Copies of this chain bind each other. A is one copy, B any other.
């Protein structure tokens, strides 16, 4: 089969990560273009990863007839525009989360993608983590029977800059959104969320109108309950664990450690701190995510994370936000009546 010809749009941290994975670890794809509004960023990535062409104008990538697919790794506020342009150019699309912060915008974008008949995969990389995948398999195999109670622990090592927080849409749309996706991935659709939040890490985060520590309770359509705990700071690294209690047993996906060496002395046993952050923690997941995208496009199969999978966690984020503001549980259908499956 002919290799997939790919262009990456956005050469920031995540764009570079995907570019490097494509070049070094992914079979069946060739990276031909890198675009970034900052010319030097594009040039640097091209140089470092051996990408033949670079530009400051992503339209150049889209108008290259050789290109089959693009990876959209720019800032969130540009996603919708680029997706529309890429769909119009009949390019398959991998887009980082969130698709957009405006729900109407997301709907319009999904329509454009559908009309163009191209594949859209959204960047929820945690679904590709080998530990969480194994958890999912164990649920699907029925190892614990019906799932009753899901617990997701998700802490970052340190908060991002305040400017980032201001533009992020808040903790629920920026950070919890990954956990919302994971909750759906593992236990299916959610009907209602309740959020509690507090400013404990940094008062500046509060001044920016956000919280930095949160507890979000979920009610699934199945009747199961869930709880997500988030914090912008954990001194010991990127703490990412999942538990599921079910009828017949419990499942636990613990943090993988960078190495297994331990030191014992008079103060006890000491093992490694966690992986620092997502780049290290989800290294394998990012590769597997890109392999899955390349495979979906080449084999013309449904992508493992669809456009709707990109939208619903945004709805959940708004529901959590409203719950926190109004001090009450909020049904997803309050945010998007289309989701009232009941």
Contact = CB atoms under 8 A, between A and B. Distances in A.
Interface of A: 24-25, 27, 130-135, 138, 143-144, 146, 148-149, 151, 153, 155, 194, 196-201, 213-215, 217, 219, 223-227, 229, 231, 233-236, 239, 243, 245, 247-256, 258-274, 327-329
A115 to B, nearest CB: 37
Total copies of this chain within the assembly: 4
Nearest to A261: B134
B236 A224 contact: no
Nearest to A271: B269
Contacts of A259: 130-131, 133-134, 253, 256
Nearest to A143: B263
A259 B264 CA distance: 15
15 contacts: A25-B25, A131-B259, A143-B263, A196-B217, A196-B225, A196-B329, A200-B224, A239-B245, A249-B264, A250-B264, A266-B273, A268-B270, A269-B273, A327-B329, A328-B328
Contacts of A27: 24
A118 to B, nearest CB: 28
Contacts of A328: 327-329
Contacts of A226: 215
B235 A223 contact: no
A236 B268 contact: yes
A329 B194 CA distance: 9
